[in-house]
Amino acid sequence: MAVVLKTSSSTELRPVTALRGVGSALAVKLATLGLHTIQDVLFHLPFRYEDRTRTVPLGSLHAGIRAVVEGEVQLSEIAFRGRRQLLVRISDGSGWLTLRFFHFGAAQQNQMARGTRLRCFGEVRSGPQTLEMVHPEYRRIMADGGNMDSETLTPIYPATEGIQQARLRQLSTAALQELKQNNIRDWLPAELLPDPRWPTLQAALQYVHRPPPDARLELLASGHHPAQRRLAFEELLAQQLSLRLLRQDIKRDASWPLVQGTELLQRFRNSLPFQLTSAQQRVWQEIEHDLALPQPMLRLVQGDVGSGKTVVAALAAVKAVACGMQAALMAPTELLAEQHARNFQRWLEPLGIEVVLLTGKHTGKTRAAIMASLASGKASVAIGTHALFQSDVAFARLALVIIDEQHRFGVNQRLLLREKGLDAGRYPHQLIMTATPIPRTLAMSAYADLDVSVIDELPPGRTPVQTVVVPDGRRNEIVQRVREACLQQRQVYWVCPLIEESELLSAQAAEETYANLVAALPELRIQLLHGRMNAKQKDAVMEQFKSHQADVLVATTVIEVGVDVPNASVMVIENAERMGLAQLHQLRGRVGRGSAQSSCVLLYQYPLSEVARTRLRIMRETNDGFEIARHDLEIRGPGELLGTRQTGLVQLRVADLMRDADLLPQVQKAADLLLRDKPDHVEPLLTRWVGQSERFGKV
């Protein structure tokens, strides 16, 4: 039965329950997709299409294709082959096909009696006797059904558990009917559109939901159809407006102006065994300026691996302490938090600044003592993981929050830490650090609410890492290379990546490699480190490696960030073809931290996919983190690079920041004009495209 609208006088902002067949239970499920109103349904856009406009003869089918077929039921039976299943054999005179159902009821079985004509869509697979479809979409065809081919390409929508594609298509059909009766309001003046040939908003929505049979699938798949570009421009504009307003909102909050502490800062800088680079000094001046303001700083510091972001963060922490306040640094892993704690303690405790570490491993009396020290203000700097924002952790006067590798944290985690510092209406300053360089194009759109600083200079004495790509069959040559490096008093990392999402499998892979290297290199001191070891074991292994009591460290990707051993000059990465560019670059950054020539060996196994081949080529050709990030953006998309699958921001429905980068200058110009000349159009655009996610922008 088709879904139709209930009678109501309201427009596209009517609740989704105004669609017949949408009761309270379904409305709850639709809410998980962000579908609360009819307008939400209209802007819940397909992410791909299938051509179901023509049926395929059964005799022409082959495994691996998705097709529409029609046939008459010749056999319908319940079989018990490992589990209960319904098998339905259909024929159209040219061939046979089996339909296999594991979940079915008596009514469904009765619908498929011998002689019934069915129209089905699904993926064709090889079966024991015939080709088959498992749980295809299907419907019965009456004798006078006529031509049952679809009149449009079939849209495939983002879905969730309990909501089938057929239901989403019913809802969009009903919403499009409403659109014909009540024109949707276009909040974007025509003169702001970059291309006057683009369709109207209404025509664009109609087209993307129901493309005609002659629509060019390849144009839609690439996102370059004018209807998609029209919608992408409006979506990017809404995101830009959201971030601009968030920035204005943040600037209305109050914070503690941190203006004192010149003497303590100078003592800290004088104690460092190195000079800050000009890039570090420039970024520190930008941070120091922000900290002196009575509004919260919200600054992102980008810097390639090894560029010295940590010491800049320490300067900010010292500034807060010198003003009688506290600072907290949150890291995504215990290993990285421990590394930061060691650095901060080494730098700050000689100045009389107490630094505490709080992670999940701290329990009982130890944890209680740390919490008491923070609550009383005795400890001025806290380093930790997500343990920092547990409900029972309190600070005396938290004025600065530093977040490392910000994309590793969910929005609510960062929001909770920010709320920890709320005191008398004042919020803490926020300093966000990332070693994942973000291309300017992406930053223009994704971080319009942040001030961005870039440490674009490596400390003196660093030598570029030479990267080689080697097939696994030449492993013995690499083992010999490891021996030579260690005999020259250098140290080596040998990384076994997480091949599957299982710490156990990863640990087993590392243990096997460890055993093989111990057998091949009996004269060397080899240690093993993986995520299933307890914290005490990991600490002991890392301390042995850092103090050169071990020559080779076989590890999982637990060492991806934070580990700093200047004497390590060789990085071997197994199964490099399975890893992303950002992770490969992070791992490579563990070497090249001293003055010795360093190298990174990427071991790979055949066969190589085209994407893997591209990644390995890029790693071999460049050490530039920004160049690598640009390629990573092209390969993976912005959602993974930014971690925005968990941030609530930049979860774009039709736009693509890389593909539609050419629109961003016009988007910024349009945002300026709307905010200045038509501010009443801004809120409706945000409601349409962004919804409630903009509240996370303060995080």
Residues 406 and 505 in one domain: no
The reported pLDDT for the residue numbered 613 is 93
The reported pLDDT for the residue numbered 234 is 95
The reported pLDDT for the residue numbered 586 is 84
Q: What distance in Å separates the CA atoms of residue 128 and residue 327, rounded to the nearest whole number? A: 65
The reported pLDDT for the residue numbered 636 is 63
Within a domain: 254: no
Counting the structural domains of the chain, the total is 4
Within a domain: 241: no
The reported pLDDT for the residue numbered 603 is 93
Coil, helix or strand at residue 100: strand
Residues 312 and 352 in one domain: yes
The reported pLDDT for the residue numbered 554 is 93
The reported pLDDT for the residue numbered 277 is 92
Q: What distance in Å separates the CA atoms of residue 199 and residue 228, rounded to the nearest whole number? A: 10
Q: Which of 33-47, 221-235, 275-289, 490-504 has the lowest mean pLDDT?
A: 490-504
The reported pLDDT for the residue numbered 606 is 85
How confident is the model over 128-132, as a mean pLDDT? Answer: 92
Task: Render pLDDT for 438-464 as a digit per residue (tens, 0 to 9).
Answer: 666 666 666 666 788 888 887 776 778
Residues 372 and 308 in one domain: yes
The reported pLDDT for the residue numbered 387 is 87
Q: What distance in Å separates the CA atoms of residue 298 and residue 290, rounded to the nearest whole number? A: 8
- In this model, does residue 305 exceed pLDDT 90? no
- Radius of gyration of the chain, Cα coordinates, nearest whole angstrom: 30
Quickly count helices (H) and strands (E) in the chain. Answer: 23, 22
Q: Residue 482: which of 584, 565, 550 has the closest Cα?
A: 550
Within a domain: 140: yes
Within a domain: 659: no
Residues 431 and 532 in one domain: no
Looking at per-residue pLDDT, the higher value among 651 and 611 belongs to 611
**304 confidence band (pLDDT: 50, 70, 90):** confident
Residues 318 and 171 in one domain: no
Residue where one domain finishes, among candidates 222, 250, 273:
222
Q: Residue 238: which of 667, 697, 692 has the closest Cα?
A: 667
How far out from the chain centre does Cα 449 lie? 19
Task: Write down the pTM of the prediction.
Answer: 0.67
Within a domain: 229: no
Residues 58 and 85 in one domain: yes
Q: Which of 157-161, 229-233, 249-253 has the lowest mean pLDDT?
A: 249-253
Q: Which domain holds residue 160?
A: 16-49+156-222
Alpha helices in 323-399 (DSSP H): 334-348, 364-376
Residues 132 and 174 in one domain: no
Q: What distance in Å separates the CA atoms of residue 219 and residue 153, rounded to the nearest whole number? A: 13
Which residues are CB-contacts of 99 (< 8 A; sequence separation ≥ 6)?
Answer: 87, 88, 89, 90, 112, 118, 120, 132, 133, 136, 138
Residues 526 and 584 in one domain: yes
The reported pLDDT for the residue numbered 485 is 95
Q: Which of 221-225, 301-305, 676-680 has the lowest mean pLDDT?
A: 301-305
- In this model, does residue 4 exceed pLDDT 70? no
Task: Render pLDDT for 558-572 as a digit per residue (tens, 0 to 9).
Answer: 775 556 788 999 999
Alpha helices in 405-474 (DSSP H): 411-420, 440-446
Task: Render pLDDT for 625-655 as a digit per residue (tens, 0 to 9).
Answer: 878 877 877 776 555 445 443 343 446 789 8
- In this model, does residue 384 exceed pLDDT 80? yes
How far out from the chain centre does Cα 277 lie? 32
Task: Render pLDDT for 163-182 as a digit per residue (tens, 0 to 9).
Answer: 888 899 999 999 998 888 88
**268 confidence band (pLDDT: 50, 70, 90):** very high
Report the mean per-residue pLDDT for the chain. Answer: 85
Residues 372 and 512 in one domain: no
Residues 422 and 276 in one domain: yes
Residues 188 and 125 in one domain: no
How confident is the model over 578-602, as a mean pLDDT? Answer: 87
Q: Which of 69-73, 412-416, 518-522, 577-581 has the lowest mean pLDDT?
A: 412-416
Q: Which of 75-79, 98-102, 182-186, 445-449 has the lowest mean pLDDT?
A: 445-449
Q: Which of 261-265, 281-285, 393-397, 694-698 has the lowest mean pLDDT?
A: 694-698
* CATH code of residue 326: 3.40.50.300
Residues 558 and 606 in one domain: yes
- In this model, does residue 51 exceed pLDDT 90? no
Q: What distance in Å separates the CA atoms of residue 606 and residue 472, rounded to the nearest whole number? A: 8
Within a domain: 126: yes
Distance set, CA 492 to CA 270, 319, 573 (Å) = 33, 37, 11
- In this model, does residue 17 exceed pLDDT 50? yes
- Would you call the peptide bond into 194 cis, given omega within 30 degrees of 0 as the criterion? no
The reported pLDDT for the residue numbered 563 is 67
